[in-house]
Amino acid sequence: MTNSQHLQDTLTEKQTRAQGQQQFVYRVIGHSNQSNRLTPCKQTGLGKAPVNIALSKYWGKRDEVLNLPVNGSVSISLPGLGTETQISVIGASTSPFESNIKPSNETSNTPQDQIQLNGETLANDHPFASRLSLFLNPFRRTGMAFSVVTHNTVPTAAGLASSASGYAALVLALNDLFGWQLSHKQCSLLARLGSGSASRSLFLGFSQWHKGEQADGLDSYAESIDMPWPGFCIGLVKVDVREKPISSSVGMQNTVNTCQLYQAWPKQAEQDIEKVLNAIHEQDFELLGQTAEHNALTMHATMMATWPPIVYWQPDSLAAMQTVWKLREQGTAVYFTMDAGPNLKLLFLETEKPAIKQAFPDISIIEPFKSA
């Protein structure tokens, strides 16, 4: 294949992806009058969303364009940790609201997005800014650019689900900016386009992301599980807060394409969902902890059996796991789960706090259901 043919194929793929996502967005927000639906109703839209930790993991996509998962998942959100985002329109003559912010490239006829992350204004070719602008494309009219100011209270891309809360907060901000008055289900559908896990960050407490069966993706969304669990604790063991070398999206694509062990994953993952749901409804902590830990280890096993191997663990990650196993041998009911990264999330009940703090002095403990 010549370079020109490869370039043309890549361009065609990008166009197909953009068209597919735009059609999906129009269906969710109401495509009967697209123009009016993409006209801001206020100066600035605001959104806030929590991070979430998957208790049964999603790993693998059946549709890359619409971010449709091979299997569903169940998660717990962490109040107080997440993303706050505000968004406004710049450079669009069709908008009834004008911004004092000038486009970053004044020599271009096409205004560019301005992205600020944690107080730092990013260059347009910065990976984070590029991903955000690409996500925003289906939501813009001709000549429309956005100013996005976002702040994470968790390390970006360090296995603590900052991308999930980020896209969820951005969708909520867009909903506020354009006055769509979308339901949580509709916001979950849109957030999924940015990050699959973001579909679950629209809710506090437990939530379930349904994998769906339809090709159009309209049945793949998350919903809240209204089952409070007083005394339930999450402990964050930070091993490395730097950005991980392989993104989750790239990692799961490589796993699906090259790992023979992956064939068994979807069936087990769906079985684990049922176990986790039963554990939540019965408040059976042992069942929940065992299932969550085994599910995470199985997911990481498929990563390690990928070619080239994907190993997010670091020596301190394994040391923390061994500490958890030793604590259990000594009678402390504690389990761990891990996303695509080196950091551990411990699961335990409030009564085990003293032993956990003694074993992990630097641990951050969150109680998702504790009243403010």
Q: For 11-53, how does the pLDDT look when each residue is reduced to its tens digit (9 = 90+)? A: 567 788 889 999 999 999 985 455 578 899 999 999 999 999 9
Per-residue confidence (pLDDT) for residue 72, from 0 to 100: 98
C-alpha 290/C-alpha 287 separation (Å) is 5
pLDDT of residue 2: 60
In Å, what is the CA distance from 358 to each residue of 44, 143, 329, 347, 352? 46, 57, 16, 15, 10
Give the CA distances from residue 48 to residues 132, 186, 226, 366, in Å, rounded to whole numbers and listed in that order. 16, 16, 20, 18
User: For position 153, what pLDDT does the model report?
Assistant: 87
CATH topology of domain 3-225: Ribosomal Protein S5; domain 2 (3.30.230)
Where the chain has pLDDT below 50, the residues are: 6-7, 9, 32, 93-108, 157-158, 372
Which CATH superfamily hosts domain 232-366? Answer: GHMP kinase, C-terminal domain (3.30.70.890)
- Residues facing residue 48 across a β-bridge: 84
Quick one: pLDDT at residue 106?
Answer: 40
Q: At 199, which amino acid appears?
A: S
How many Å separate Cα 94 from the centre of its chain? 32
> What is the helix (H) or strand (E) element at residue 272, kind and residue range?
helix 265-282
pLDDT the model gives residue 91: 75
Domain ranges, ordered by start, for the chain = 3-225, 232-366
What global pTM score does this model have? 0.90
Q: Coil, helix or strand for 165?
A: helix
Exposure b/e, 335-366, CB count within 10 A at least 16 = b: bbbbbbbbbbbbbbbeebbebbeebbeebeeb
